[in-house]
Amino acid sequence: MKTSRDDLEKQQKLYDLLKKQHEAEKHEILHYSSLLKDIENNLIRNYFNTLLNDGIKHIQYITQAMAKIEGSSGSAHLTKEGIDESIEEELRSKNILSECINLSDDIEIKELIKSVVVDEEHHIQILKHIRQLIESYSEKN
């Protein structure tokens, strides 16, 4: 019985450390993102973009490890309701950004925000397609 308790304690410690690292990665991503707006040198911008992309990848890996420890499947969150919630979040973001466009008098800022709105619209379309895929897979099973 002692081995099982030791294993549980070890798993809990691992989970706690992964959770701390997850938070650290999120903090780094926010930090690097805030720096990018002031960097004009393309090489340095590319380096920071690499750091950002790697940070996102690290968060994905850490999340997978945490889910495995929790005993849940990574696809458990891929429900129609979960995807609908993500679509709503993207719609809210798009609406907020659209309001920002209306409030800004600076043409460059407007164009930057418009490009993000286009991305948000694309994200909504991707999520709608994912929802269709989930619905078609669930109908087959």
Can you give the pLDDT at residue 6? Answer: 83
Query: 80-103 and 107-140 helices cross at what angle (nearest 10)?
Result: 170
Predicted confidence pLDDT, tens digits, the chain (141 residues): 556 888 888 888 888 899 999 999 999 999 999 999 899 999 999 999 999 999 999 999 998 888 888 765 445 456 778 888 889 999 999 999 999 999 999 999 999 899 999 999 999 999 999 888 887 876 766
Half-sphere exposure of 76 (CA within 13 A, CB side): 8
Can you give the pLDDT at residue 77? Answer: 53
Q: What residue spans define the domains of the chain?
A: 1-73, 78-141
* CATH number, domain 78-141, options 2.60.40, 1.20.5, 1.10.1060, 1.10.8: 1.20.5
Q: pTM of the predicted model, to two decimals?
A: 0.56
Query: Rounded to whole angstroms, what are the CA distances from 1 to 4, 6, 69, 70?
Result: 5, 9, 20, 21
Can you give the pLDDT at residue 78? Answer: 64
Can you give the pLDDT at residue 74? Answer: 46
